[in-house]
């Protein structure tokens, strides 16, 4: 396997990839040799032939074919920075991006995927994450879904340029891809308001679902119950900010209420996470009392249960003292 196009940036990019991997490893990431090899060998720059950088007056495009060699050099260096890259705008609003590589590495490791596993990715983006998955698992094991045909067409093209041809499907990601189920993992690169039931139904028992929700990353394990499959698990400690899921079950646009709260609490990322997780359900002042009474917990102490009986969030224990329903769109 190798790139199917001539790449004038190949030598420089290889050096830049090695540097990126070293930075991620220095921060404790990419401990799995197989994922490390994927990041060392998959050329991210082929998936971001252009991207946008913010500045005064809006966004500016950096492009691999810019006539200015300094701009091309800035484009290539930026492609291997450990930062998210804005890749698609619509009416000035970001609708697609290439996620921060270190966060991608964390998510991939958390899935527990191994050779022989199958995976459903929600949010094709540039195709880079699908390429990392395909590098380890093989093309046939990877399905990536996106609502926007322009995004899937571009992802398919980028993947082919990098020598990969996983299944790239245009459709509503909230509905999964039943034709290629069951899966050993579902990994979403877009923010949710709740966990779509279709994902749980399309997972094998023991599968992982890893998705952004309420500025965090939820890691769920799927298991069978007498009433049907159920997914449950905790948030990871890290913060995470992604483009929202678009489609029939897009998260409702709502902002947590901060008015009247003590300034120190409203400015605390841990409390803001709780407000977001409890938006529409938890009273902000009751949430503040709980948060302070329980020692100002971080994301990792919260969890989600999603199954036939509904979906709810909790602190420390799904059957404990602090449990509340998730709000937002529901199936059907």
What is the number of other CB atoms lying within 10 angstroms of the CB of residue 252?
Answer: 12
Burial of 207 (0-12, 13-18, 19+ CB in 10 A): buried
For 211, counting Cβ atoms within 10 Å of its Cβ (0-12 exposed, 13-18 middle, 19+ buried), the class is buried
Give the 3-state secondary structure of residue 314: strand
The one catalytic residue among 3, 19, 96, 250:
96
Q: Is 96 an active-site residue?
A: yes
The answer to whether 233 and 185 are in contact (CB under 8 A) is: no
DSSP states of 115-183: TT--EEEE--TTSHHHHHHHHHH-GGGEEEEES-HHHHHHHHHHHHHTT---EEEES-GGG--GGG--E
Tokens standing for 270?
A: 């841990």
First CA to last CA across the chain, in angstroms? 43
Tokens encoding 98:
């290439």
Record the tokens describing residue 30, joined without a space. 């990419």
C-alpha distances in Å from residue 265, one per residue of 106, 268, 290: 28, 5, 12
> Shortest CA distance to 281 belongs to which of 305, 319, 314?
314
Q: Indicate the SS3 state at residue 311.
A: strand
Asked whether the beta carbons of 170 and 149 are under 8 A apart, the reply is yes
Q: Active-site residue numbers?
A: 96
């Amino acid at each position: 396997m190798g790139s199917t196009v001539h790449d004038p940036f190949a030598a420089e990019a290889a050096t830049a990839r090695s540097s990126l991997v070293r930075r991620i490893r220095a921060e404790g990431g990419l401990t799995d040799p197989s994922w490390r090899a994927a990041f060392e060998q998959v050329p991210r720059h082929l998936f971001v032939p252009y991207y946008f950088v913010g500045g005064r007056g809006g966004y500016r495009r950096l492009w691999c074919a810019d006539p200015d060699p300094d701009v091309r050099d800035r484009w290539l260096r930026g492609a291997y920075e450990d930062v998210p890259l804005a890749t698609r705008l619509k009416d000035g609003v970001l609708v697609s991006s290439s996620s921060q590589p270190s966060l991608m590495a964390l998510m991939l490791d958390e899935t527990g995927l191994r050779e022989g596993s199958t995976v459903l990715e929600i949010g094709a983006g540039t195709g880079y994450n699908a390429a990392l998955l395909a590098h380890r698992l093989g093309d046939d094991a990877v399905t990536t879904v996106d609502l926007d045909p322009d995004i899937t067409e571009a992802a398919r093209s980028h993947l082919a340029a990098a020598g990969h041809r996983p299944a790239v499907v245009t459709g509503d990601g909230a509905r999964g891809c039943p034709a290629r189920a069951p899966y050993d993992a579902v990994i979403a690169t877009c923010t949710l308001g709740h966990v779509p039931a279709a994902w749980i139904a399309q997972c094998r028992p023991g599968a992982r679902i890893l998705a952004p929700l309420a500025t965090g990353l939820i890691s769920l394990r799927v298991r069978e119950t007498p009433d049907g499959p159920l997914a449950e698990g905790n948030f990871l400690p890290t913060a995470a900010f992604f483009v929202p899921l678009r489609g029939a079950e897009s998260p409702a646009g709502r902002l947590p209420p901060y008015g009247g709260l003590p300034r120190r609490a409203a400015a605390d990322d841990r409390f803001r996470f709780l407000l977001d997780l409890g938006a529409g359900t938890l009273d902000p002042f009751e949430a503040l009392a709980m948060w302070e009474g329980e020692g100002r917990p971080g994301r990792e102490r919260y969890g989600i249960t999603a199954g036939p009986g509904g979906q709810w969030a909790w602190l420390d224990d799904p059957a404990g003292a602090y449990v509340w329903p998730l709000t937002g769109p529901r199936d059907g």
